[in-house]
Amino acid sequence: MTLVVTPWSPAAGEDLLDLLPADERLILPALQAVQQGFGYVPKEAVALIAVALNVSVADVHGVLTYYHELRTTAPAPITLAICVAEACQATGSRELVAHVGANLAPVGGRSDDGQVDVVEVFCLGNCALGPAALINERLVGRLTTKALESALADARAAL
């Protein structure tokens, strides 16, 4: 599936924060809402959230930088999250990561065509059918280099 995101503007950010339900007027849900809406958390959003929730900018910054998934730059259209935890190591994730590093992008990097971000993740709950990866929100299992390339081709075709 393709992620639908709106271009960032402070006004759009304020509108989005106004929509937060009363019990989610908290820093992490606010950051998640911004990321879901705009694809990432722009710098200006930090101050907006601080004002909207009546907390300090430092507190918002602290939460933003704590969680691995929150990002401050726009992502590529496709995120390939490869599981590198033990169960997938036992079925060849180290080799898969090496292959992706040599042919697409290293972990933490972006492919040359700008279409795919490669990230590592610790466990996707598919531990009996490893190696596993999450391509946007699609879980794929028993990956070989060939199966991974075909799953990525599907994701590119769906863009």
Partner 1 sequence: MTTTIYVPIDSAATSIGANAVALAIADEATKRNVEIKLVRNGSRGLLWLEPLVEVETVTGRFGYGPVTAADVAALFDEDFLTGADNGFSVGIVDEIPWLADQQRVTFARVGVIDPLDINDYEAHGGLTGLRTAIALDPSKVVEEVLASGLRGRGGAGFPAGIKWRTVLEADSDQKYVCCNADEGDSGTFADRMLMEGDPFTLIEGMAIAGIAGGATKGLIYIRSEYPDAIATMKAALLIARGCGLLGDDVLGSGKAFDITVRVGAGSYVCGEETAMLESLEGKRGMVRAKPPVPALHGLFGQPTIVNNVLTLATVPMILAQGAAAYQALGAERSRGTQVFQLAGNIARGGIVERAFGVSLKELVENYGGGTRSGRPVRSVQVGGPLGAYFSASGLEVAMDYEALIAAGGMLGHGGIVVFDDSVDMAQQARFAMEFCAKESCGKCTPCRVGSVRGVEVIDKVISDIDRTANLDLLNDLCDLMTDGSLCAMGGLTPMPVLSALRQFPEDFQK
Give the nearest distance from C-beta 112 to partner 1 in angstroms: 26
Q: How far is the CB of 113 from partner 1 (least distance, A)?
A: 25
The burial class, CB within 10 Å (0-12 / 13-18 / 19+), for 4 is: exposed
Beta carbon of residue 21, minimum distance to partner 1 (angstroms, whole number): 9
Alpha-carbon span 117 to 122, nearest angstrom = 16
Binding flag, residue 122, partner 1 (CB under 8 A): yes
| C-alpha–C-alpha distance, residues 134 and 88, integer Å | 13
Q: Is 145 in the site for partner 1 (CB under 8 A)?
A: no
Each residue 53-72 as x (binds partner 1 by CB under 8 A) or -, in order, gives ------x--xx--xxxxx--
Residues 40, 37: Cα–Cα separation, whole Å? 8
Cα separation, 9 vs 14, in Å, equals 9
Is residue 137 involved in binding partner 1 (CB under 8 A)?
yes
Identify which of residues 3 and 113 has a Cβ nearer to partner 1 in the complex: 3
Instruction: List the structure tokens of 50.
Output: 């601080």
Considering beta carbons, is residue 12 or 129 the nearer one to partner 1? 129
Are residues 113 and 150 in contact, defined by beta-carbon separation less than 8 angstroms?
A: no
Interacting residue ranges for partner 1, rule: CB under 8 A: 23-24, 26-32, 59, 62-63, 66-70, 81, 83, 85-91, 121-130, 132, 134, 137, 139-142
